[in-house]
Amino acid sequence: MLNKRFIAGAVCPRCAEMDRLVTFEEGGDTFKECVSCGYQEKQIANVQLSELDTRVNHGEKISDAVEPVKMMLDVTPKKDS
């Protein structure tokens, strides 16, 4: 009884396909699997670290996420004053 869930935005380290990685638990361990190429990786019980790894792999996405925040910071003081 495997409950596989897709990892949004995750990129397969082997075939570089996005949104092809699923995560599932088996025997108390957590695994990642690529449904595109069959890549499989055992996770060392640290989901937060793996999420950080995913973000680091998307260097472009970090700058995309920063820009809207800057815009919001610029707008907020104007509303206050």
Closest to Zn ion by CB, 36 vs 43, is: 36
In this structure, what token pair is assigned to residue 29?
A: 């361990």
Contact flag: residue 35 with Zn ion (CB under 5 A): no
Q: Which stretch binds Zn ion (CB under 5 A): 5-13, 45-53, 59-67, 70-78?
A: 5-13
Binding Zn ion (rule: CB under 5 A), the pick from 4, 29, 37, 66 is 37
30 vs 35, beta carbon nearer Zn ion? 35
Paired with 22 in beta bridges are 6, 33
In sequence order, the 6+-apart residues with CB closer than 8 A to the CB of 59 are none
Tell me which of 11, 19, 31, 39 binds Zn ion, using CB under 5 A.
39
Q: Nearest 5°: CA angle at 27, between 55 and 2?
A: 70
* Rounded distance between C-alpha atoms, residue 32 and residue 24, angstroms: 7
Residues in contact with Zn ion by the rule CB under 5 A: 12, 14-15, 34, 36-37, 39
